A and B are shown apart, each in its own frame.
Chain A
Amino acid sequence: GAGVSQSPSNKVTEKGKDVELRCDPISGHTALYWYRQSLGQGLEFLIYFQGNSAPDKSGLPSDRFSAERTGGSVSTLTIQRTQQEDSAVYLCASSLALAGSGNTIYFGEGSWLTVV
């Protein structure tokens, strides 16, 4: 696609339910990133993928969070047993190669998650 696509754009869920967030990166981009941003706060790094591999999972807040990427393209971020503090916008981004080589990171519009 033309840009990074995320779904759902908005999700309201009850505490304790599981949610799955999807990200479709820009075609040909090998690196994919997940960030979280709470209202009025900065971006919190969660995880990144180089191809289907996630070298650094240290940003995932707890073991309720997991992410996978298949076929070097679409990624899903799963939050199990959601808690109210999980409410935030979850931003996915992609870059042609790893950003460390100077490649620009392009963001999707985010998935706005509200846990009630």
Chain B
Amino acid sequence: RKEVEQDPGPFNVPEGATVAFNCTYSNSASQSFFWYRQDCRKEPKLLMSVYSSGNEDGRFTAQLNRASQYISLLIRDSKLSDSATYLCVVTARNTGGFKTIFGAGTRLFVKA
């Protein structure tokens, strides 16, 4: 089982749609959680951190469920510019210190 798993997609949605991505992680000792965005042939960039209380940034809402070990990202009112790959990121302590694991990503295509 992968340490961080995501639905690879692709998700094809029209402009204005609401889309949700889920991510599960296997290490119950995981401590920090993030969503990153990666555009085609570009480096990943932080979209938002994920907190147990949930957090919202404009059209984006991230939630963490520690009991079920999953993270979600909700995008409302999708824009063409939201087309990208969304990476779930989990950091956990291990014997060597900390390990930051990226999921394989979920691809989103927003169409006019």
Contacts and interface: CB of A to CB of B under 8 A. Distances in A.
State which size class the interface on B falls in.
Answer: 20 to 34
Nearest to A109: B43
A99 B87 contact: no
Interface residues of A, number: 25
Interface in A1-60: 33, 35, 41-43, 45, 48, 50, 55-58
B105 A42 contact: yes
A93 to B, nearest CB: 8
A105 B100 CA distance: 9
A55 B44 contact: no
Contacts, number: 62
B1 interface: no
Contacts of B102: 35, 42-43, 45
5 contacts: A45-B101, A57-B96, A100-B31, A105-B100, A109-B43
Interface of A: 33, 35, 41-43, 45, 48, 50, 55-58, 91, 98-102, 104-110
